Every structure is written in C-alpha cells, then in structure tokens.
C-alpha cells in the first residue's frame, strides 16, 4: 500500500540536491535545475546587500536573449511581457537584471524560486523573435514611431503614374515634409528578391509624389534581423529611395525627422 508520507519524504529528499550552491567571492551561486530554451542552465546568485539577501540573475537572462537573436532591442510589447512576468512572481527588473530582496530570516528559498520562474518566462520571449512575421514587424515599427511622438498613418494609399493604386505601410509626418515608409521583411532569400522588386516598382510608379507640393520622401526600411539580404538589394533601392536598416533605429529616426 502506498504511504503518502513516504512519498512526501522522497520528494523533499530528491528535490533538494537539484539546487547546487557554491561560493564565488562575495556571491553564493545557485545552479538551478531550470533550463533556458536551448538547454543552458539557469544560474542565480545571492549576496548580502543593505541588511537583506539579494537574489539576482546578474543580467544573464537578458544576455542570453541577446545572444540568441539579432534583434537590437526588446520591443515595447515584449517589455510589457517582461514587466508582467516580474509582477506575477513578485520580482523586479532593474538595469537588465531580474532581482528579489529577502530580509534575513525569511523565506530565501521562496525568493529563489520566484526569480527562477520569472527568468524562465522572460527567456521564453525568444520564441517571439523566432516566430515573428510581417504583421508583427509592422507593429514594432508602429510602437517605435509612437515612442518617439511621430504622427503616422498605416496602410496609406496612393495612385501612381500608371493609374495603379498602391498601399504603403506607413505615411510618417515629420519636419517640413512627409515620408512614405515601405517595410521589407522575410526569412526567405527567394522572397527577399521578390520584395525588393515589388518595392522598386512601387517607388518608380510614385515618383511624381517626390515633387512639390507634396514632396514625399521615400524610405525603404529593411528588417535586417534576418540575414537574407544581398548587397545588390540595398543598391537597387538606394537609387530611388532612402535605405534604412532596423538594426539602426537612430538612423531611421534621424531620416524621418529630417524630412
């Protein structure tokens, strides 16, 4: 007959060794049984600070994310998810580190678990980088424009010289004129060339909009977080538009504000 008390004792005895502690200078390193999505082990650190125990990942979770994606930064939507994970588990996200504070004599093990759980949820944002598709890239750009107080319209329509009606991803108001921004994003090299040819035709047909009184600026924004673009792709479009790369958000912002 099964003995519930014996089961509980086996669990307590078996779980404890899964957390291994060692001293590293002023820190105690805790090697947890939790794994990042690629199998790396999550380590946490404990140090005394201002009369409390500080449990922290020392920024390793955020560094892990940056190592496993070419995206230059977390989007505002992803930051909301980070904040939500931290609030759910009662921890803080400060200077890129996941942290919890525990007064001496209180539940240190509980604080360690909370930091570990938050780290795992934040690490899972990796999947949002991997599964990103065109609509979500457009959302990232829209978030960026909002953060910098730029007025814009999405899916703006214009009629070209040929009589064809085109839909442009963004019309951005900035400076003394306006910018038409077309996004180029894909993870497929064959699709990349077709996108470039489409945008080239778009800008060519709308050439009359670059003249007064409208004087639109044409901006081709490449999502270069995927290594699918050839140098000739950039050269083709730079002849007829301003080239910007998503990995250089400041350059993109400067182009829009200069217009």
Per-residue model confidence as pLDDT tens for the chain (259 residues): 457 667 667 766 666 778 888 888 888 999 999 988 877 889 999 998 888 899 999 999 988 887 766 555 676 677 888 888 999 999 999 989 999 998 876 788 899 999 999 999 999 887 766 555 445 788 889 999 999 999 999 999 999 999 989 999 999 997 667 999 999 998 777 778 889 999 999 999 999 998 867 689 999 999 998 788 999 999 999 999 999 999 999 999 999 987 5
Nearest to 71 by CA among 62, 80, 58: 62
Domains 4-130 and 134-258 share a fold: no
Number of other residues whose CB lies within 10 A of the CB of residue 58:
17
Exposed / middle / buried, residue 237 (Cβ in 10 Å: 0-12, 13-18, 19+): buried
| Domain regions of the chain by residue span | 4-130, 134-258
User: What's the pTM value of the predicted model, to 2 decimals?
Assistant: 0.51
Nearest to 98 by CA among 75, 78, 121: 121
Name which CATH class applies to 4-130: alpha beta
Q: 134-258 adopts what CATH topology?
A: Trna Endonuclease; Chain: A, domain 1 (3.40.1350)
Q: Is the dihedral of CA 161, 166, 169, 174 positive or negative?
A: positive
Which residues lie closer than 8 Å to 71 by C-beta, 6 or more apart? 129, 225
- CA 219 to CA 98: how far, in whole Å? 38
Nearest to 148 by CA among 250, 45, 235: 250
Q: What is the DSSP string of 59-97?
A: THHHHHHHHT---SS--HHHHHHHHHHHHHTT-EEETTE
Q: How far is CA 195 from CA 1, 112, 155, in A?
A: 68, 48, 17
């Amino acid at each position: 007959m099964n003995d519930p008390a014996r089961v509980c004792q086996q669990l307590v005895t078996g779980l404890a060794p899964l957390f291994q502690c060692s001293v590293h200078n002023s820190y105690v390193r805790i090697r947890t049984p939790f794994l990042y999505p690629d199998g790396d082990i999550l380590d946490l650190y404990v140090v005394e600070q201002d009369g409390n125990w500080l449990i922290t990942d020392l920024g390793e979770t955020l560094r892990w994310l940056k190592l496993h994606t070419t995206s230059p930064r977390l989007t505002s939507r992803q930051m909301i998810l980070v904040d939500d994970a931290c609030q759910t588990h009662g921890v803080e996200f400060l200077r890129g580190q996941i942290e919890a504070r525990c007064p001496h004599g209180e539940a240190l093990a509980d604080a360690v678990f909370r930091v570990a759980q938050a780290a795992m949820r934040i690490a899972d944002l990796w999947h949002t980088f991997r599964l990103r598709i065109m609509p979500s890239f457009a959302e990232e750009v829209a978030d960026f424009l909002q953060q910098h107080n730029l007025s814009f319209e999405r899916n703006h329509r214009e009629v070209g010289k040929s009589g064809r009606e085109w839909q442009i991803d963004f019309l951005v108001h900035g400076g003394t004129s306006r910018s038409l921004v077309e996004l180029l994003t894909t993870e497929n090299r064959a699709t990349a060339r077709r996108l470039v040819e489409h945008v080239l035709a778009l800008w060519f047909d709308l050439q009359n909009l670059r003249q007064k009184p409208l004087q639109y600026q044409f901006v081709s924004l490449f999502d270069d977080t995927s290594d699918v673009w050839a140098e000739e792709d950039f050269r083709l479009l730079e002849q007829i538009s301003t080239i910007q790369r998503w990995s250089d958000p400041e350059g993109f912002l400067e182009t829009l504000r200069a217009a």
